Amino acid sequence: MREQKPSIAFLGIGLMGSRQARRLLDAGYPLIAWNRSREKAEALAPLGAAVAETAADAVRSADLVVTMLENGRIVAEVVFDQGAAVAMQPGAVLVDMSSIKPAEAQDHGARLHALGVAYLDAPVSGGTVGAETGTLAIMAGGEAETFARVEEILKAMGRPTHVGPTGSGQLAKLANQIIVGVTIGAVAEALILAERGGADPAKVREALRGGFDESRVLELHGDRMVRRDFATRGRSVTHLKDIDNALDAARRLGLTDTPFATATAELLRGLLAHAGDLDHSALFAELERRNRLDA
């Protein structure tokens, strides 16, 4: 007899969650979907998902609960204030794949542990493309035993790595966001310099590919910059939230000098103030504005 797969409740069917839930359904996992806007969850019904009216209803019989929500405040509201935590079965696992503060993850983990629920903070990197193709980098913090229990399920969504105790997944994600944000800014500044001097920025990008500065940012975001395609794929407001969380974590850890993250946050604030929530590759446009090249 074929072994029955664990049942999953997925809370948060947005740009990322909808694609991750599809990967789990494609892998054959029974899935109950919940979203504050019910129609987003209902879009998964033709693929075999059940749709719950409330977050608490979604989790009652789930072996694993996955949350993919906007920030720590909303995670706490859904999991604790709306009764999902107390509705979960003792021994079930909650994997929070949202990007929140490490201190919030530690608090959530302790509160769930007191209810007999295991917990991982497991934020992701890779954007909507990674969510759709199942190639997300998944950074998991929590007990090694808990990670081992759900590792195979996480593999349906990407490449999971256990990075340390509770809160470590969020620290890894913040490290990721600093690297990505600083690199986007560096690529933007470099291409503007090249263009200002008379070089073709598209050709400069092509010439740099394969050298020491090769990266996914140069490949993807650099291409968006030279084509001036700033349609939102990675939201600038979300990236700023993560950088601010990184700066908060740095202060809590006694780090007083964080020049690269601080500068990136300032650039993202300027972009949001003057152009709105474009793709984070639009730091290129913000640097043009600051250099008065956008006229």
Bridge pairing between strands 136-142 and 118-121:
antiparallel
Within a 10 A sphere around the Cβ of 266, how many other Cβ atoms? 14
- Cβ neighbours of residue 235 under 8 Å, at least 6 residues apart? 277, 279, 280
d(CA 284, CA 225): 6
User: Of the residues 5, 40, 101, 173, which is catalytic?
Assistant: 173
Residue partners of 102: CB distance under 8 A and separation at least 6 = 121, 167, 168, 170, 171, 174, 245, 249
CB 98 within 8 A of CB 72: yes
> For this structure, is 40 an active site residue?
no
Q: Would you name the residues annotated as active-site residues?
A: 173
